[in-house]
Structures are given as C-alpha cells and as structure tokens.
Structure 1
Amino acid sequence: MTEKAVTAEKDRGNDMDTDVLYWIWLSDALGASNKQTGALLSAIPDALEIYRMDAVALCERVPKLSRTVVENLSQKSLEHAKRVEEYCLRHGIGILPYSDAFYPDRLKQIFSPPVLLYYKGTIPDMNEKLCLGIVGTRHLSDYGRRMAYRLGYELSLCGAYTVSGMARGIDTAGHIGSLDAQGCTVAVMGCGLDRIYPPENRWLAEKICANGALVSEYPPGELPARHHFPQRNRIISGVSQGICVVEAARGSGSLITASMAQEQGRDIFVLPGNVGNAGFEGSNDLIKAGAVFFTQTTDVLQTYEPLYADSVDLSRLSQEDAYAAYDELHVPPIYTPKRGQRNNTPFERTAAGKHDTGKRSKTGQHTAVFDTENNGVPSPVVLQDEQQQKIYDALQEPHTVDELAQLCDMESRQVSMQCTMLELSGHITSAPGGLYCRATPEEG
C-alpha cells in the first residue's frame, strides 16, 4: 500500500507508546458506544490527564458526567490494561487511540466516538481519501450480490476506500469486489480481533488484512453479541463520507446504519429495487424519505470527484463497464452456510479431523514446567482463579469457547474472558479454528 498508512507491524517487537496503556484503561472504563465519551474527550482529549484526575476534578471539568462514569474513572488499576496491551503486542494487534494523528477526523466528530480502535493489517489515511460504506442485508438476492460486488470493485478501481462490516451477504460481496480490484477495504468488527465472525469469512479476514484492515473498538476476547452490531455500525458510517445501501428489507440492520449516517450528516445512496420486492422495501422507503438513489457506481463517485480530483479517477472505469447490465459481470460465488451448518475449513481442522494447535508465542511465561524427574510429564498446574482452573482442567484436548462453556457449565462470555487471561499468563494457547489448547514447554 503506497498511501500514507499505519500498520500493526510497527508495534510488533517494540514497546507501545506509554500513553496507549491509559487509552486502553479509558476505553475499558467507559465501554463501547458510551454517550458521554464525546463530551469527555472534547473537554479533556488526553487519557493520562483523565487518569490522574480525581472525581471532584472530573466533575468540575465535565459537569454532566454520570455517577456511573465518574465511579468507573475513579478505578485506577492498570492491570487489565497491561494484560490487553501485552496480548496485542504478542498477537500483532495495533492500537490507534483517539489522540493519534491517524485516527479518522470524521470519527472524532460523531456523538460517541470510540476511545480507541484495535486493528490488524494496515489502516489507510482516511483523512485524505474518499471513504464510502457498503451495507445491506445478510439474506441477499443474486441481484444484490452482483451489485454489491460491482460497487466494491468499481469504487476501489476509481480510487476510493470501502468500509463495511464483513457480515454475511452484502458486506462480504462488497469486500470481495474491492479486493479483486486491488483496492483498500476496511472491515469494522463487532467483536474482538481474536475472533472472526462469521467464521466462514476467516479467509476473507486474512485477505483484508493484506490489503486493508480489520478494526474494532472491542478488546481481544470480546465475543460477538447482538447489541455490538448497531454499535459498530456507527463506526462504519462515522469514518465514511457516504453510505451505499445495496439491498435492505424493512427491519434490516443496514437501515440502522443509514439512520446513524443521517444523524452524522453523511450522504446516503440507495440502490432501488422492484416495487413489491420485500427484499428491497427498506431500500425503497429510504428513497421515499429523501435518500439519493443510484443505479451505477458513477452516480456515487460524481458527487465526490470535484473534492477528490487527485485520487478519484472515473476514467479508470470504461463506458462499457459503467453501463453493463448487472448479469453481464463476472462475480465469484459467495459461500453462505445453511443455518446450523458447521464450516470445517482447513483453517479449523486437518483433513484427518485432528486439531492443528499452531505455534505458541515465545513471549508467554510458563508455570507448567516440565518435571525432568518424572519422564518429561508436566507437573500439575494449580491456579488461584477457580474458573481458570476449571477451564485448564477441561483442556485435555483442544476445545472452542462454546465447547468449554458446556464442559465447565459457564457462560461463553466468561469462558472467553478467562481464556484470554490464561493465554496472557502462558498457560494455554489459541489455535486455528477458534480452538484453545494447553501450552507446551518450548523445545530447548
């Protein structure tokens, strides 16, 4: 990627900026999509300064802070933030705080900006280039699939960055189109970056990291949850100049993104559908409410071409391509598993059905050392935390979080959090396919 960009690789093998630790603490204290974040950071745009302030000083500077927020900001322990920071360093996850010059300016202007963004890959300079969101239904039609792919391809071909959520359906088609055009695309996740959701898009996540970035405001270990996705949608629209709704039924989550885009003052472009087609009723409602309809990519790009004359070039799109019928374009098939179907890809299991445990990070500290007087058998591991002990004991063989939750009679969220802590302490390691296994001592 030749444009100015920030990559997670710059953080690997080096200590992160000391201030990043306080931004992690602040993000943890406020939580995702906190409505008071904007007011707090507008008044005090420095996490270290906020950390050093007591409750009285905070209330004097930002009088409208709620009691809950003040109480959370009064908790000064950095232990969790240190564990998260170390985990990110070991796993190639970059951290882009609100104070960083590469933090998107448009995102700072929304009502509840993320305190920081975790990322994998390379975040392009969104302050200088045209960024457009591609959103739509997970239950897409063939028409929607082809048009989302075409939109992603042609936006990237002409020099725009694309942003979406890597969800099934329209999101996936748009990302693939951008990648096929050798463009830069950014996927905003609704979970920690150590989780890939949906799991069948693991291959897509790897390709996006090579030609763009995965970003999330959620720390490692955070599982996807229903309420996360509306929260992440505000980031998709927040970093974009405009949102392109490709296909949306009434009740589609993409309508939430469009609503947020309107609140943020973003442009909304909508692909119209046939009257009476339930899959496009939400789209057509947006058009009736005043959104701009588009029938080809140039309709969208012409809006911004004067502002981005140096980077947006419609001449890269031939007239023949621009006016081609949707069914004349080559579009690769996009796999969508049937409900309840497990996706056993090579990333998850070997052909023989055995788990591939991968390599353990060399920076982890072991407490399960080999006992040389006991024929190389690891000494019993005794952990202070009861939940962690239960999980460790259950890992006689590799398991996923959901499997561990059943074995240990715990909630998946609790298991995920404790697995992250066990991995940070070096007791367990993660493997392809969302599996966890006990860490093995390094060969001498």
Structure 2
Amino acid sequence: MDGEELVLPSDVQVTIINKNVMIPIRVVAENLKFKVDWNQQARTVKIQQDQQTISLTVDQKQAMVADKQVTLNTAPQILNKTLVVPIRFVSEQMGLKVRWNNQDKIVYLTNTSKEPAIDPGKSSGKGDSTSTAQVTDIQFANNQLVLSTDGAVQPIVTTLKYPDRLVVDLPGATFGDISQPLDQGLNGKLDVSGYPNVTEVRYSLFKREPAQVRIVVELNNVKNVQYSHNLIADKLIIDLNVAGDNVTPAPVTPVGDSGRKVVVIDPGHGGSDPGTISITNKPEKEYNLALAHKVQALLLNEPNIELVMTREGDTYPTRPERVQLANQLNADVFVSIHGNSVKSAPQATGTETYYYQRSNSKELATIIHQRLLKAMGLRDRGVKNGNLEVIRDTTMPAVLLEVGFLSNVLDEELMSSDDVQMRAAQAIADGIKEYLGL
C-alpha cells in the first residue's frame, strides 16, 4: 500500500475465490486502518472510513454502500472461522486505487488522496522531463553495484540495520529503457544467488515528484560493511567490502544404506533477523534456538536418526539456504520452530502448525501438533495449510510450528520456562519418531 509492503501475521491467509482476491476482515481493520464492526447474530460487517460506510453480509452478494444497494462478484465468506471480503470492492469504495499483478500475484493499493498528479503520458516513470537522469541498467557482480545512467547523478548512500542493508538513493532520477524487468509498481529484483553475504538487491521508483530511484542491497550475516563509489562516464560503481559471519550450513552427508532417518531441525530467524519481539522485549530468535537445542539433545540420543540443525548459534542462514540444506540431504523430515505474535491483539493465544499441500506433510503436522498441544496446554488454533517458503520449497514432509504467542503475557511466560520448553521439545521429538515409525 502506497509503496510499502503490508506484512501480515503468519496466521492470516489471503485467498482467491472466483478470480477475486479475498482478505480476512482483520487485515481491513489492522492494516488498511478502516473501522470494522461485526454483528455475529446478523452475520454482517460494517466498514467505515471517514464519511463512507459499507455493509456486507456473509454469503450474500448484495451489499450496501451508504444507502445504495450494489451487487458483488463474490460474496463475503467464512473460511477457517475467519471472515474474508473482496479486497478490490472494499478498497475502491474507500477511495483506494487497486492494481493487480497477475504474474507475481501482488495487489497494489494506492491512496488517491496522497497520489501526486502525474502527466498520464509519463506515469510509467520513464522520460520525465523534470528528471536529470534516467537509469538504464543495474548490475551486481564481484561485490560491485554498477548503475548506468544517461546523465549526471549525485547518489546518497546510507546503511541501515534490522536487517542490515545498503540504500542507494538517486534524487532526480527515473527509469529509462532499463534492461532489467519492472513490475506494474515499478519495482524489480536482481539475481544474487551466488553471493552468500547478499540476500537481495531490489530497485524501485521510490518517489515520483520529485523523482527518485532507490536501490536496496540487503545483507546477510554481516559484521561490517564498507563501501566507496565512483562516477566513471555514465556509470556509478559502488564497491562493497563485506565481512560476514560465513554461516552457510555445512552439508552433512546422510548415512547411505544404514537405514537412519535424516531429520532437519530449523530454529527460525537468527543473526541479523531477530524475528518478532516479545511483549517483554526479547527477540523470537532466542526462544526458537533454545527450544531447538532441547529437541536436538533428545534426537541425538536416537540411534536411528541422523540429526541436522540449520543453525547452532545466533547466525542467519537465509530461507533458501535452509531449504537447500534439507533438499541436498534428501532429509526425511523438516521441522521449523517459531513463536507467533500479533502485537495489535495481545489477547491472541494458542498453538498452531503449518504444512504445505502435501498429504504426508499434513500427517506429520497433525501428529506433532496433537502432542505439542498437550505439552503447552494452550488454545488449539489448528493445523493449517500455509504458503511459507521453508515448508513449500522443501521436498520432504515439512512443518512449521507456531508454538505460542510471544505477544501474549501468559503464552510468553510459558514459552520462556525451561520446564515447559523441555515438555515441548519432548512432544516434538516424540511426534517425529511416531511419524517415522521409530
């Protein structure tokens, strides 16, 4: 929305029904900041923004906008005990402009009251006569960011933390006939898979009036970064001297014909990525690692299990690296450990488990979830299908555990207890063994 990614809670699922993107009503309230009133008895929801009011009813295509009745393409529905509504209808009625990128499945929302007036012939960000330069090429190689422009630029280079990144702003610049792809929101990314200390290089038309291109180099496991830049003819060259943690997981060769099962335990986040911050101001990464170490200690005693950790300390293997490790090992089971959080709803509580579409993953998720529920004694939030990278791109049965809510006082107290962690670890280990038939 307005160029900023809306990061949704892990238990929020956006879905497509009859070619309509549907969002949970809590996204409307928490992220779009509209006022929402839900009438459980009448199964109606009223959404308000300034003087505009929309009334929707579950399973009915007829809606009221102010005092006028309109017909929806798809009726609001309740999925997994959550009310979902069509994002285009709600957003457009509230004065937002909606664009859909079908290739990447991204919805772009723009607040038209804030959107600058742009000559329609120049709305792509290319050829703006007020700009001093156009960016025509962006490359990253040999730890150098190389930008080609058709005019003079005065870069502003800054470093930011959490996560560590280098930000290059080019005031007065737009995109020309750039070699790299741009999506409808005038954003793009480079392939940096060969650079372990660089997670991502992304670029965008950050501002339109005045124009400004921004390039962000997101860094991985970086202790120190130094940079210098040079202007050579039409090229801006930024050299990165990056000192990293060198934490790419070392491959572990499973025992070939021994019959041992390979289990990968993944403590979520770590290093420069703290995860969520608990209600007592502690990073999720510490909880994930503490519980994972207890699971590790239990499974190392199992003669029929080859145990591998994606991280042993406060380091940050990227999500693709975690996936690659498990796939290279041809692991039998992958378990990712996390703590949940909804800071805007500190009353949220419970344990939930995610799998991705594969039936064997659902079986693993169900077995571990039932044991973990008994160990934690928290509300059962269910076993859910989730489109999460570490369980989607792994090729073996894989689950992601949201053990409890670090944003809830009582949940966090339980989750931080060594005794409860030990019970949870035993539940996870026993669930893995049951699934593997050990």
> TM-score, normalising length from structure 2?
0.29
- Greater relative contact order (CA < 8 Å, ≥ 6 in sequence): 1
Q: Which has the higher strand share?
A: 2
User: Which structure has the highest helix share of the two?
Assistant: 1
